[in-house]
Amino acid sequence: MNIELSRRAFLQTAGAGLAGTTLGALGFGDIEAAHAAAIRAFKLANTTEARNTCPYCSVACGVILYSKGDLRKGEQAEITHIEGDTDHPTNRGTLCPKGSALLGFVKAPTRLQQPMIRKPGADKFEPTTWEDALDRIARLMKDDRDQNFVATNNDGVTVNRWITTGFLAASATTNETAFETYKVVRSTGMLVFDNQARV
């Protein structure tokens, strides 16, 4: 966070310093003030920065997210710009044709907005609520597990497995999401469990 703040502070002071020194030194006092007032504030100086890494390939280039609003202060924050992180040892500020267009991924028109359900045989999705969707998932999981859980195999060995329900984990979620997912899935006895590394 310190680096983020200092970078932002740098942008702000750099703008002020330019007006204060270059023109001021030449003795154009009033003109300088009028001129400074006419210069539009540098857009990024009014944004909050967050350090992140590109979610696409495994080079994991450093990126900086610029937002209107500050999440850390509990505000709504809208990302307005994404660029390469010049401090990052791997990419040193550069991005590829995919990473350069990351803002379009964050703001894609096909980002999902709310839980949806498609009933058997239906030809469209209908909106549902988080409560209803999660209750339904937990209910069906429990019913299936109770019906199909295998406690012992034919030789009487304790096996405690559940193989009629499966889980396919991701490829770009965090390690923390991964570990919590591992806990939740494995504690049910699920064996049909893989992630994108398989393919």
Partner 1 sequence: MTNSWTDIRNTDLVVIMGGNAAEAHPCGFKWVTEAKANRGAKLIVVDPRYTRSASVSDLYAPIRQGTDIAFLLGLINYCIENDKVQRDYVKAFTNAGYVVKQGFTYQDGLFSGYDEAKRDYDKSSWDYEIGADGFAVVDDTLANPRCVWNLLKNHVAVYTPEMVERICGTPKDKFLKVAEMVAECSSPTKAMTSMYALGWTQHSKGSQNIRAMAMLQLILGNIGVRGGGMNALRGHSNIQGLTDVGLMSNLLPGYLTLPNEKEPDLAAYMSTRGFKPLRPNQMSYWQNYRKFFVSFQKAMYGSAATPENDFAYDYLPKLDVPGYDVLRAFDMMHQGKINLYLCQGFNALQAFPNKQKITASLSKLKLLVVMDPLATETARFWENHGAHNDVDPSAIQTEVIELPSTCFAEDDGSLTNSGRWLQWHWAGGTPPGEAKRDTWIMAQIHLRLKELYRKEGGAFPDPILNLHWPYADPGDPTAEEIAQEINGRALAKVTDTADPTKVLAEAGKLLPGFAALRDDGSTSCGCWIYSGCFNEKGNNMARRDTDDPDETGAYLKWAFSWPANRRILYNRASADLNGKAWDPDRKVIEWDGAKWSGYDVPDIAPTAKPGEVGPFIMNPEGVSRLFTRGMMRDGPFPAHYEPFESPIVNPVAPNVRGNPAARVFEGDFRQFAEPASAEFPYAATSYRLTEHFHFWTKHVIVNAVMQPEFFVEISEQLAAEKGIAKDGWVRVWSKRGSVTAKAMVTKRIKPLTCDGKTVHIVGIPLHWGFTGAAKKGFGPNMLTPYVGDANIETPEYKAFLVNIEPVSGPVA
Within residues 9-28, the interface with partner 1 by CB under 8 A covers none
**Binding to partner 1 by residue 6, rule CB under 8 A?**
no
Q: Which of residues 146-175 bind partner 1 (CB under 8 A)?
A: 146, 148-149, 151, 153, 155, 157-175
Of 46 and 164, which has the nearer Cβ to partner 1?
164
Shortest spacing between CB 80 and partner 1, in angstroms:
9
Q: Contact at 8 Å (CB) between 181 and 169?
A: yes
Of 30 and 155, which has the nearer Cβ to partner 1?
155
Distance CA 13, CA 146 (A): 64
Distance CA 67, CA 48 (A): 5
What six digits make up the tokens of 33? 């003030």
Residue 124 CB-density burial (10 A; 0-12 exposed, 13-18 middle, 19+ buried): exposed
Shortest spacing between CB 43 and partner 1, in angstroms:
16
x/- track of binding to partner 1 for residues 43-82 (CB under 8 A): -----xxxxxxxxxxxxxxx--xxx-x-x----xxxx--x
* Degrees to nearest 5, angle at CA 95 with 94 and 101: 145
For partner 1, how many residues bind (rule: CB under 8 A)?
Answer: 123
Of 32 and 85, which has the nearer Cβ to partner 1?
85
Distance CA 188, CA 162 (A): 7
Shortest spacing between CB 154 and partner 1, in angstroms:
10
β pairing state of 62-68 and 78-84? antiparallel
Q: Which of residues 103-132 bind partner 1 (CB under 8 A)?
A: 104-106, 108-125, 128, 130
Shortest spacing between CB 62 and partner 1, in angstroms:
8
Q: Contact at 8 Å (CB) between 159 and 188?
A: no
Q: Which of residues 80-99 bind partner 1 (CB under 8 A)?
A: 82, 87, 89-91, 94-99
Category of 34 on φ-ψ map: left (φ > 0), alpha (ψ -120 to 50) or beta: alpha
